[in-house]
Amino acid sequence: MMNKLKNIREFPKTANKKREMLFTLLVIVFGLLFGFIAKATDSVSIIGAVGTDLGVWVFIVSMIAAFSSRPLFAIINTPAFLLSMLTSYYIYGQVVLSFFPEPYFMGWLVMALISPIGGIIVWLSRGKGIIANICAAMPASILLACGYPALYTRQPVLILDLIFAALLLMILPKTWKERAIATGIALILAIIIVQLRLISYLPW
Predicted structure pTM score: 0.91
Q: Which of 81, 48, 46, 85 is CA-nearest to residue 63? A: 81
**Structural contact between residues 15 and 69, judged by C-beta atoms closer than 8 angstroms:** yes
Residue 2, pLDDT > 80, answer: no
Q: How far apart are CA 106 and CA 204, in angstroms?
A: 11
Write the single-letter amino acid at 140. Answer: A
Residues in the chain: 204
Q: Confidence class of residue 14 from pLDDT cuts 50, 70 and 90?
A: confident
Sign of CA dihedral 98, 156, 141, 75: negative
What are the pLDDT digits (tens) for 83-123? Answer: 999 999 999 989 988 888 888 889 999 999 999 999 999 99
Q: How far apart are CA 6 and CA 132, in angstroms?
A: 12
**Structural contact between residues 125 and 8, judged by C-beta atoms closer than 8 angstroms:** no
What's the distance, CA 175 to chain centroid?
A: 22
Q: Confidence class of residue 49 from pLDDT cuts 50, 70 and 90?
A: low
Task: Give residue 7's pLDDT.
Answer: 86
Task: Give residue 197's pLDDT.
Answer: 92
Q: What is the DSSP string of 158-182?
A: HHHHHHHHHHHHHHSSSSHHHHHHH
**Structural contact between residues 52 and 36, judged by C-beta atoms closer than 8 angstroms:** no
Q: Confidence class of residue 48 from pLDDT cuts 50, 70 and 90?
A: low
Domain boundaries, the chain: 16-124, 128-204
Q: How far apart are CA 78 and CA 56, in angstroms?
A: 14
Distances (CA, A) of 130 to 12, 109, 135, 167: 21, 32, 9, 19
Query: For residues 119 and 53, which has the higher predicted lDDT (pLDDT)?
Result: 119
Average pLDDT over residues 172-192: 97
The one-character DSSP state at 41 is T
Query: For residues 163 and 2, which has the higher predicted lDDT (pLDDT)?
Result: 163
Task: Give residue 204's pLDDT.
Answer: 62
**Structural contact between residues 81 and 135, judged by C-beta atoms closer than 8 angstroms:** no
What are the pLDDT digits (tens) for 60-77? Answer: 999 999 999 999 999 999
Other CB atoms within 10 A of residue 105 CB: 16
